[in-house]
């Protein structure tokens, strides 16, 4: 088992779907239908985002949607591209708003945390030199631990939370201008019509 997988430089996704709406909506899969076992229950956009996040930042991306031939209408590919771009822009705007809120909260809690740490360290200093095992020693150790805990919230907000939001934003920015392709099912899947398709994530490393 490999603990560290290499991030691919090229991502080629083939996403078989029954309806174009499954780009953004989770398909309703019947648990009692064994023929649907291999169908991915997530919206295609979520699968694309995860694939981009697993790849290198400058990785090339190609996404092909496989739809039953009877649901592919003229201009569907262009409409799908436009819808994907609109949805990505919408989510980018939401993430920008979240980033601003988290950044403001992180700075505010950091300032309060620094004041709290100064107060706590002053209290520890007031205790003076303590003997190991004494009540004063336990109190001093507890206060120092509290000081670190107080700073953990702003550190988590300003480092880890911001990183997650920025990672998602980078993925949507990459997908915003994606030249999405819509094609009939691949030869191996021909004849299935609008029935279930196997899960498809073709990635080249």
Residue 114: the pLDDT is: 85
Residue 140: the pLDDT is: 65
Query: What sections of 16-161 are H helices per DSSP?
Result: 44-54, 76-127, 135-155
Residue 92: the pLDDT is: 97
Q: Is residue 106 within 8 Å of residue 154, measured between CB atoms? A: yes
pLDDT at 35 over 90: no
Residue 151: the pLDDT is: 84
179 — pLDDT class (breaks 50, 70, 90): very high
pLDDT at 33 over 90: no
Q: Considering only CA atoms, which of 149, 147, 152, 153 is closest in space to residue 123? A: 147
Distance CA 61, CA 178 (A): 8
Distance CA 129, CA 54 (A): 52
Q: Considering only CA atoms, which of 102, 91, 141 is closest in space to residue 120? A: 141
Give per-residue pLDDT as tens, 1-22. 455 678 888 889 999 888 899 9
Torsion of CA 45, 50, 54, 56, to 10 degrees: 30
Give per-residue pLDDT as tens, 136-172. 666 666 677 777 788 888 999 999 999 999 999 999 9
Which DSSP symbol is given to 177? T
Average pLDDT over residues 36-45: 83
CB < 8 Å & 24+ apart, contacts of 189-197: 189/16, 189/66, 192/68, 193/68, 193/70, 194/18, 194/19, 194/68, 194/70, 194/71, 195/18, 195/35, 196/18, 196/33, 196/35, 196/36, 196/38, 196/39, 197/16, 197/17, 197/18, 197/38, 197/39, 197/66
Residue 191: the pLDDT is: 42
101 — pLDDT class (breaks 50, 70, 90): very high
């Amino acid at each position: 088992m490999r603990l560290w997988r290499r991030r691919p430089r090229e991502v080629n996704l083939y996403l078989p779907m029954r309806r174009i709406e499954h780009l953004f909506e989770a398909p309703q899969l019947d648990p009692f239908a064994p023929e649907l076992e291999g169908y991915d229950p997530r919206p295609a956009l979520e699968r694309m985002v995860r694939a981009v996040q697993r790849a290198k930042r400058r990785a090339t991306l190609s996404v092909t949607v496989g739809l039953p031939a009877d649901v592919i209408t003229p201009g569907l590919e262009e409409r799908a591209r436009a819808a994907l771009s609109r949805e990505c822009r919408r989510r980018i705007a939401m993430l920008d708003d979240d980033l601003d809120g988290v950044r403001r909260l992180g700075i505010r809690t950091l300032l309060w945390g620094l004041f709290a740490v100064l107060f706590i360290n002053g209290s520890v200093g007031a205790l003076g030199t303590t003997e190991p095992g004494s009540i004063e020693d336990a109190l001093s150790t507890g206060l120092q631990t509290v000081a670190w805990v107080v700073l953990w919230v702003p550190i988590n907000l300003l480092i880890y939370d911001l990183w997650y939001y920025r990672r998602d934003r980078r993925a949507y920015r990459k997908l915003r201008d994606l030249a999405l392709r819509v094609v009939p099912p691949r030869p191996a899947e021909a004849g299935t019509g609008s029935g279930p398709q196997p899960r498809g994530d073709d990635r080249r490393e």
